[in-house]
Amino acid sequence: MKVSDWTIATLGSHSALQILKGAKDEGFKTLVICLKGKEKPYQMFKVADRIILIDSYQDLIKIDQQLAKTKTVLIPHASLIAYLGEDKVEQLKMKYFGNKLILRHESDRNLERAWLKKAGIKLPKFFKTPAEIDRPTIVKFHGAQGGRNYFLTSSTKDFAKKIKPFKGQAYYLQEYIIGAPIYAHYFYSPLTKELEIFGFDKRYESNVDAIGRISVQDQLDLKSLQTSYTICGNIPVVIRESFLPLMIDYGQAVVDVSKKIVSPGLFGPFCLEMIIAPDSQIYAFEISARIVAGTNPFVAGSPYTYFNYDEPMSTGRRIAREIKNGLKSDKLNLLI
Ligand code: ATP
């Protein structure tokens, strides 16, 4: 099967530039499906051979049947899942890179927690009810929202006050670990059965990353100041080498357990979102079972991909390489 007969497609957002560039580098044709008004980056950076403009994300459903008849593989990312919704993503007919069944285990915090726990990963405590709050706690709303509206609390009373504007919304109460946030990017190949580390990042968020620039007195004077976690960008990180063995164990354990819970398990890119506490304990508070935007600083490769590849290797390109290897070895059925 000729790679150039195939198209790699994604939704115009999140890590689309990287995915499309990687696909082009591997010899695929590329397609970006883009909401009208959001197409400028894909016109400016010439990584898409074709741009399909849609009026609403739900219109993706309308073109799905048509694309399903072609040699087109859709690469999922967080925006696809957030904008279209997990149910609709599951129903898409077009070829899809990844295991759709894993989506539920990622988005349902209870299933996610059970998965990580089974993998032997250290987790922050979680509280079933606000009455249990007895330490710094982060209040999270359902669905990946880029941290929007999450807030901190440390008592039941304070929680009752702060939750008022979010009446009726489902929330999740998790112990807030004060430490260094580190997001680890992995890739697992079902073809070679090998796990790779692609890099690490930390997030640049508004306003939490700005609060340290204001004196404590100013913070106290600004009585209505609330910490928020709106994601704005990602910053590359190289971690202490002695943390790598545990990072590798965590990644492998997550893959191993996933095979038992949703065969054939998790594959392709994924990310463990972690906090390293001052005592060097490593907690994971979330898993993303797909490419994360934290890989975007590494479009030309990372310090880690440099060890394994003699060419620039982004996560987007690695996805395309996997599909190419699947095509060449007639094992595409293991990937889509
Ligand atoms: P996504 O699903 O896209 O990863 P999100 O909206 O679920 O994003 P999180 O990444 O869970 O957001 O969290 C937002 C911010 O809160 C990040 O800065 C993260 O490091 C921090 N954070 C989340 N959980 C904890 C925790 N238990 N302890 C300390 N910090 C946390």
**From the candidate CATH numbers 3.40.50.720, 3.40.50.2300, 3.40.605.10, 3.30.1490.20, the one assigned to the domain spanning 126-177+207-232:** 3.30.1490.20
**Which of 133, 228, 275 most suits a substitution to test ligand 1, by most atoms within 8 Å of the C-beta?**
275
The mean pLDDT value of the chain amounts to 95
**Which of 133, 141, 150, 235 most suits a substitution to test ligand 1, by most atoms within 8 Å of the C-beta?**
150
Residue 146 predicted with pLDDT over 90: no
In this structure, are residues 195 and 251 in contact, taking their beta carbons and an 8 Å threshold?
yes
**Which of 86, 113, 138 most suits a substitution to test ligand 1, by most atoms within 8 Å of the C-beta?**
138
Residues near 303 by beta carbon (within 8 Å), at least 6 away in sequence: 199, 238
CATH 3.40.30.10 fits 1-96, yes or no: no
Residue 144 predicted with pLDDT over 70: no
Q: What is the reported pLDDT for 145?
A: 63
Residue-wise pLDDT tens digits, 212-260? 999 999 999 998 888 888 899 999 999 999 999 999 999 999 999 999 9
Q: What is the mean pLDDT of residues 11-18?
A: 97
Residue-wise pLDDT tens digits, 186-215? 999 999 999 999 999 999 999 999 999 999
Distance 147 CA to ligand 1 centre (A): 6
Q: What is the reported pLDDT for 224?
A: 82
C-alpha closest to that of 196 among 334, 282, 113, 301: 301
Ligand 1 atom, smallest distance to 146 CA: 6
Residue-wise pLDDT tens digits, 78-136? 999 889 988 999 999 999 999 999 999 988 889 999 999 999 999 999 999 999 999 99
Ligand 1 atom, smallest distance to 205 CA: 18
Q: What is the reported pLDDT for 143?
A: 60
Q: Which residues line ligand 1 (CB under 6 A)?
A: 78, 124, 138, 140, 144-147, 150, 174-177, 181, 203, 205, 229, 273, 275, 285-286, 288
Residue-wise pLDDT tens digits, 275-289? 999 999 999 999 999
- Kindly report the pTM of this predicted structure: 0.95
Tell me the pairing of strands 137-141 and 282-288.
Answer: unpaired
Q: Where in the chain is the domain with CATH 3.30.1490.20?
A: 126-177+207-232
Domain 98-124+178-205+233-336: top CATH class: alpha beta
Q: Where in the chain is the domain with CATH 3.40.50.20?
A: 1-96
CA distances from 334 to 90, 106, 249 (A): 17, 21, 24
Residue 163 predicted with pLDDT over 60: yes
| Gyration radius of the chain's alpha carbons | 20
Q: Where in the chain is the domain with CATH 3.30.470.20?
A: 98-124+178-205+233-336
Distance CA 185, CA 160 (A): 36
Q: What is the reported pLDDT for 149?
A: 81
CA pseudo-torsion sign 55, 57, 58, 64 = positive
Residue-wise pLDDT tens digits, 250-259? 999 999 999 9
Distance 117 CA to ligand 1 centre (A): 18
Q: What is the reported pLDDT for 168?
A: 86
Distance 274 CA to ligand 1 centre (A): 9
Q: What is the reported pLDDT for 219?
A: 92
| pLDDT > 70 fraction of the chain, expressed in percent and rounded | 99
